[in-house]
């Protein structure tokens, strides 16, 4: 229980660590501060495992703990009262697994980065960002207040922005960071509206209270549908669902460990997790559930097809992430909360593994292009082995972790809607094909770039140890978590209304057979030293290849929309400046200027001339008089005096 009581520290300690790293010490490629971040996340991992152990050994879930955050006065129904906003943690089944996933992947990524990012000019800052990213995600996981969840949600978006654009000196990462940020913000708009709607309706952001509100039937189906679609909108942005997945392939410009973190644990998992967290709203809205399921299936299929033609090793993995997220969403929409979250957990292990393997390869050959690789298995045996395990896991080879979760999803979806099952089964087959294509192109066959091949070498231990740990998890996690339905019993607490229908036994085996066939096809096409068959296929289906290579023109459509908005803004600006301003501002100004000129002219010609004229007249008359009278002759002055005196005398005399 003590572990649960300190659950809030899981989010706060990496936050403190990130600030300590950011503001402590000087920027130095050999700074010791990253170990602070590793220690912090290590502690969180221990704490999370403790919580998992407590949950397995029977601690009461969900565990909730609230503190008062802030309060404000307000009026409702003409009565003033003080509203108290709580802040708190809510640890339920999904949260327990999310905590372990996030802390474990973050921990391994941070160790891996020690070697991968070693010598980078902003080594210390990189670790500060990683810790901040992890802290945001952990806050999102534990928070019981949807407002706090939303804040953390935005912080996750911000962290991904600074990490994708970590090498911002080059223009591509800067562009990719902007694109990721803006695309996810588009989805966040819906989430924000949904949250406002929830607060107006329920009067609280607390998840347990909202759940109670819904379970008592106070929320109408229409309202639940609107809210659920809003949340789905946010989740589609974060978890890269169609059509908002356009940011994810570009996000590959960030450092590879960051890609692993984004794809396995912190960023894209957030959307799926949020849907799971608000699952009670979705279950109250059948239309929203169907939307989730079909959106997920569509995304899974589209992303898988795009991955087939991609030649960038990281982008293949990015598309596979989008595809797998589609699987999870589809499972959630098909009432399979357990299946979706189970896949989220196992996917985190093998996707982190695959990304870190890709990082290891890129570290060795300094290129992302699979066409320049090939034959690396002899040079990097450990990386090859771990990549092979990850590829098998994601392809659904029996008894590896991916097989358990994917089987669970397929069974669940088959019961819900066979059409969805067919889409997902095809996608699963494609997944095996493109993943083995990646494996063959990178590690097997002949070395196509002799120079790069000659310089390739196995990575140092901080990179290989996380690979081995994740590879072991990729093999055993599924079996461990499925043992005695451990995962299901923890997740399916009060939330999920799943009714077990035994799926037909041929279902799992038929998909496995299709997967095996597609692996054989991949081996045929890409296993040999030359790819004549692949080239012929490409030539025969050139328009389709082009469509997939251009990612269904979705980027162009979005850019076109942005461009359209740009043009509309320019037009509006032109109207504003050339029409509105010309008439109402400049026009009025001209009229006023004209009036002022007339007034000035009148003032000048009439008023001022009169004033000046009067003065001038006095001056002229005075001057004339003076020159007439005062000639400076003393005798004249004397005569004036005499005349004056005479006049005075005469006046006196004749009075």
Question: Minimum distance between the CB of residue 590 and other proteins, rounded to whole angstroms?
Answer: 54
- Residue 109, classed as helix, strand or coil, is helix
Cα separation, 139 vs 101, whole angstroms: 14
Number of residues that bind other proteins (CB under 8 A): 10
State the nearest-atom distance from the C-beta of 645 to other proteins, in Å.
9
Token reading at 70? 């802030």
User: Could you tell me if 474 and 353 are in contact, meaning their C-beta atoms sit under 8 angstroms apart?
Assistant: yes
Cβ-in-10-Å burial (0-12, 13-18, 19+) of 219 comes to: buried
CB of 629 to other proteins, least distance (A): 9
Select 446 or 646, whichever has its Cβ closest to other proteins: 646
Residues 589-628, interacting with other proteins (CB under 8 A): 626
In the complex, least distance from residue 626 CB atom to other proteins, rounded to whole angstroms? 5
Least separation in angstroms between residue 605's CB and other proteins is: 35
Q: To the nearest whole angstrom, how small is the minimum distance from the Cβ of residue 619 to other proteins?
A: 14
Nearer to other proteins, 577 or 618 (CB): 618
Q: How far is the CB of 638 from other proteins (least distance, A)?
A: 6
* Residues in Cβ contact with 81 at an 8 Å cutoff, skipping those fewer than 6 apart: 73, 74, 75
Nearer to other proteins, 539 or 633 (CB): 633
Closest approach of other proteins to the CB of residue 641, in Å: 10
Show Cβ contacts of residue 90 under 8 Å, excluding neighbours closer than 6 positions: 62, 63, 64, 142, 143, 144, 207, 208
| Minimum distance, C-beta of residue 637 to other proteins, in the bound complex (Å) | 8
- Applying the rule CB under 8 A, the residues between 631 and 650 that interact with other proteins are 631-635, 638-639, 642
Q: How many CA atoms lie within 13 A of 47 on its CB side?
A: 27
Q: In this complex, which beta carbon is closest to other proteins, that of residue 591 or of residue 649?
A: 649
Q: Nearer to other proteins by C-beta: 494 or 623?
A: 623
- The CA distance from 349 to 124, in Å, is 26
Nearer to other proteins, 543 or 632 (CB): 632
For residues 190 and 101, what is the distance between their CA atoms, to the nearest angstrom?
Answer: 27
Could you tell me the smallest distance in angstroms from the CB atom of residue 609 to other proteins?
29
Return d(Cα 497, Cα 383) in angstroms, integer: 42
| Closer residue to other proteins in complex, CB, 78/635 | 635
Rounded to an integer, what distance in angstroms lies between the CA atom of residue 52 and that of residue 19? 28
CB of 613 to other proteins, least distance (A): 24
Report the SS3 class of residue 72. Answer: strand
**Which tokens is 615 given?**
């003065």
Plot region of 458 (φ>0 → left; ψ -120 to 50 → alpha; else → beta): beta
Quick one: 171 or 627, whose CB is closer to other proteins?
Answer: 627
Choose, by CB under 8 A, the member of 564, 591, 598, 630 that binds other proteins: 630
Q: Residue 271, Cβ neighbours under 10 Å: how many?
A: 28
How many CB atoms sit inside 10 A of residue 337's CB? 25
Taking alpha carbons only, the member of 496, 477, 455, 336 closest to residue 403 is 477
Cβ proximity to other proteins, 561 vs 645, nearer residue: 645
| Listed ranges 4-12, 404-412, 424-432, 629-637: which one lies at the site for other proteins (CB under 8 A) | 629-637
Which DSSP string corresponds to 616-650?
Answer: HHHHHHHHHHHHHH--S-HHHHHHHHHHHHHHHHH
Restricted to residues 501-540, the positions that interact with other proteins (CB under 8 A) are: none
Within residues 393-432, the interface with other proteins by CB under 8 A covers none
DSSP-assigned states of every residue in 549-561: HTGGGHHHHHHHH
Instruction: Please report how close the Cβ of residue 615 comes to other proteins at its closest, in angstroms.
Output: 19
Joined together, the tokens standing for residue 583 give 């008439």
Residue in this structure with the two tokens 């399916």, named with its chain if needed:
492
CA–CA separation, 523 vs 440, rounded Å?
7
Query: In whole angstroms, how close is the CB of 618 to other proteins at the nearest point?
Result: 16
- DSSP designation for 372: G
- Dihedral pair phi/psi, residue 566, rounded to 5°: -60, -45
Q: What are the counts of helices (DSSP H) followed by strands (DSSP E) for the chain? A: 29, 2
| Nearest distance, CB of residue 634 and other proteins, angstroms | 6
Residue 217 or residue 632: which is nearer to other proteins going by CB?
632
Closer residue to other proteins in complex, CB, 542/641: 641
Q: Which residues have a Cβ under 8 Å from the Cβ of 467 and sit 6 or more positions away?
A: 353, 356, 357, 360, 382, 383, 386
Angle between helices 313-333 and 337-365 (to 10 degrees): 180
N-terminal to C-terminal alpha carbon distance within the chain: 132
Nearer to other proteins, 588 or 637 (CB): 637
Q: Residue 467 corresponds to which tokens in the numbers above? A: 């690979």
| Nearest to other proteins of 500, 622 (CB atom) | 622
What span, in angstroms and rounded, lies between the C-alpha atoms of 532 and 535?
A: 5
* Nearest CB to other proteins, comparing residues 60 and 628: 628
Instruction: For residues 361 and 380, give the distance between their C-alpha atoms in angstroms, rounded to a whole number.
Output: 8
69 φ, ψ to 5°?
-100, -65
Q: Which residue, 25 or 644, is less far from other proteins as judged by CB?
A: 644
- Residues binding other proteins (CB under 8 A): 626, 630-635, 638-639, 642
């Amino acid at each position: 229980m003590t572990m649960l009581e300190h659950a809030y520290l899981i989010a706060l300690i990496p936050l403190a660590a990130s600030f300590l790293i950011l503001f402590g010490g000087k920027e130095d490629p050999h700074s010791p501060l990253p170990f602070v971040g590793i220690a912090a996340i290590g502690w969180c991992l221990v704490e999370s495992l403790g919580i998992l152990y407590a949950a397995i050994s029977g601690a009461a879930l969900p565990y909730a703990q609230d503190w008062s955050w802030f309060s404000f006065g307000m009026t409702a129904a003409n009565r003033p009262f003080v509203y108290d906003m709580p802040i708190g943690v809510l640890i339920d089944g999904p949260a327990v697994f999310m905590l372990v996933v996030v802390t474990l992947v973050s921990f391994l990524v941070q160790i891996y980065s020690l070697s991968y990012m070693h010598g980078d000019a902003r080594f210390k800052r990189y670790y500060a960002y990683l810790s901040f990213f992890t802290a945001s995600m952990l806050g999102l996981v534990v928070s019981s207040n949807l407002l706090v969840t939303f804040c953390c949600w935005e912080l996750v978006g911000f962290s991904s922005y600074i990490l994708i654009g970590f090498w911002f000196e080059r223009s591509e990462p800067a562009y990719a960071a902007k694109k990721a940020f803006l695309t996810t913000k588009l989805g966040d708009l819906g989430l924000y509206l949904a949250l406002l709607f929830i607060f107006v309706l329920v009067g609280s952001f607390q998840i347990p209270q909202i759940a109670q509100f819904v379970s008592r039937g106070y929320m109408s189906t229409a309202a639940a549908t609107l809210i659920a679609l809003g949340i789905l909108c946010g989740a589609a942005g974060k978890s890269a669902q169609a059509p908002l997945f356009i940011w994810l392939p570009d996000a590959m410009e960030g450092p590879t460990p960051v890609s692993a973190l984004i794809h396995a644990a912190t960023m894209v998992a957030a959307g799926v997790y949020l849907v799971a967290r608000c699952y009670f709203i979705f279950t109250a809205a059948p239309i929203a559930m169907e939307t989730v399921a079909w959106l997920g299936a569509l995304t899974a299929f589209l992303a898988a097809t795009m991955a087939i033609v991609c030649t960038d090793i990281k982008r293949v993995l990015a598309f596979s992430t989008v595809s797998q997220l589609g699987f999870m969403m589809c499972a959630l929409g098909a009432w399979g909360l357990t299946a979706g979250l189970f896949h989220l957990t196992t996917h985190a292990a093998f996707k982190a593994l695959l990304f870190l393997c890709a990082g290891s390869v890129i570290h060795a050959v300094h290129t992302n292009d699979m066409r320049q690789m090939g034959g690396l298995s002899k040079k990097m045996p450990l990386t090859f082995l771990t990549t092979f395990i990850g590829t098998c896991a994601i392809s659904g080879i029996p008894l590896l972790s991916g097989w358990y979760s994917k089987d669970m999803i397929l069974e669940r979806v088959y019961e819900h809607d066979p059409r969805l099952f067919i889409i997902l089964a095809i996608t699963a087959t494609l997944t095996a094909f493109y993943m083995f294509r990646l494996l063959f192109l990178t590690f097997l066959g002949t070395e196509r770039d002799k120079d790069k091949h000659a310089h390739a070498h196995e990575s140092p231990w901080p990179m290989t140890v996380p690979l081995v740990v994740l590879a072991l998890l990729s093999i055993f996690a599924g079996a461990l978590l499925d043992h005695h339905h451990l995962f299901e019993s923890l997740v399916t607490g009060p939330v999920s209304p799943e009714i077990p229908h035994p799926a037909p036994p041929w279902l799992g085996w038929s998909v496995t057979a299709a997967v095996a066939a597609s692996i054989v096809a991949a081996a045929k096409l890409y296993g040999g030293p030359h790819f004549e068959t692949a080239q012929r296929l490409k030539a025969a289906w050139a328009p389709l290849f082009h469509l997939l290579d251009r990612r269904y023109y979705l980027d162009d459509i979005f850019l076109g929309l942005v461009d359209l908005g740009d043009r509309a803004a320019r037009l509006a600006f032109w109207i504003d400046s050339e029409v509105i301003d010309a008439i109402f501002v400049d026009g009025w100004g001209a009229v006023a200027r004209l009036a002022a000129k007339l007034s000035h002219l009148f003032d000048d010609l009439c008023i001022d001339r009169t004033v000046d004229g009067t003065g001038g007249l006095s001056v002229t008359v005075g001057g004339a008089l003076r020159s007439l009278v005062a000639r400076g002759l003393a005798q004249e002055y004397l005569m004036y005096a005499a005349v004056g005196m005479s006049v005075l005398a005469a006046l006196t005399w004749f009075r």
